[in-house]
Amino acid sequence: MGGVRKITAVEMNKDQVELARKYPVFNGGIYIDLSNVKIIVDDGRNFPKRQSEKYDVIMLSLPLTNTSRSLEGYASTENFLITTDCLCDYLDHLTGGSLVFVGHNDAEILRLLSISLTALKRTGVAEAEAMNRICIVGSDDYLVFC
């Protein structure tokens, strides 16, 4: 696990967790064979609000729905799972590490950039410094915002 001592994974879909446990050959047994991995079935957005623990990295994969696969569909079905308040909660639970998001299109990443700048400003980070803390990498298939 690359030297990682502890992983807390939060998955909202209990069926996804059960499938991963049932078919460990397809995922390296990460949900059953690794003593340093703790799986919690919960809503990832609200989970930090109930925790006092801090994390080095918080990684989220934004949900992908059939209606958000195009810019036209995205505009009418934009999800509000990631908000300024939500990002502030995540930032509050970092030890100084990074938030990493996996997005699926330019519209998601641009919205995330805007929300991130607002959240960082709310926590006292100036815009110029905030831009030094943000990077966007990826390909046409998967964009990563960190």
What pLDDT was estimated at residue 19? 93
Give me the average pLDDT of each 10-residue run along the chain (146 residues): 82 91 89 86 88 89 58 48 86 86 79 90 91 79 67
What pLDDT was estimated at residue 15? 94
**Spatial distance between the Cα atoms of 40 and 10, rounded to a whole number of angstroms:** 5
What pLDDT was estimated at residue 68? 47
Question: Among positive and negative, which fits the CA dihedral 123, 125, 131, 132?
Answer: negative
What pLDDT was estimated at residue 80? 60
What pLDDT was estimated at residue 70? 52
What pLDDT was estimated at residue 142? 65
CB 121 within 8 A of CB 130: yes
